[in-house]
Amino acid sequence: MARRVIRIERLIAVLGVAVLALGVAIVWLVSRNALTRTEVSPLQRAESQLRTHLNPRVTVVYSEEGRRNALCGYVRTEGRNVAFVSRPNRIILETDPLKSEFDDMQRDLCPGFMTVQNLPAAP
């Protein structure tokens, strides 16, 4: 049986075509912004988490941005307002069984949540 031999010229040509094809594919993806990550706002992230966690019709009544990409606020559900803390990978409500963890997260991530700052001086 004859031994098959790959010629160097043919190998270079095949690798050259592969590199060109890869370059064209990368330029095409970059031109369509396919390689960039789209950032959603903390409010949009929290609304998505709340719709998944509670129901699709919840509305965020009030929100404040906190530290480390957190969002604290109130959501209207079942006829009452419920406080929440939203992180990129988690959301916790004040009605969750882990009330002390919610309080710790709210104190750590949103230290000035719902506090009045720069009160006007009394006359």
Q: How confident is the prediction along the chain (123 residues), in pLDDT tens digits per residue?
A: 567 777 888 889 999 999 999 999 999 888 887 777 777 888 999 999 999 988 888 889 988 888 888 999 999 888 888 899 999 889 999 988 888 898 898 889 988 776 655 445 555
Number of domains in the chain: 1
In a domain, 34, yes or no: no
Predicted local confidence at residue 117, as pLDDT: 53
Inter-CA distances, 46 with 2, 16, 38, 56, Å: 67, 48, 16, 12
Distance in angstroms (rounded) separating the CA atoms of residues 16 and 3: 25
In a domain, 61, yes or no: yes
Predicted local confidence at residue 20, as pLDDT: 96
Predicted local confidence at residue 32, as pLDDT: 83
Predicted local confidence at residue 118, as pLDDT: 44
| CB-CB contact of 93 with 83 (8 Å) | yes
Give the residue numbers spanning the domain of 47.
Answer: 42-109
Predicted local confidence at residue 115, as pLDDT: 64
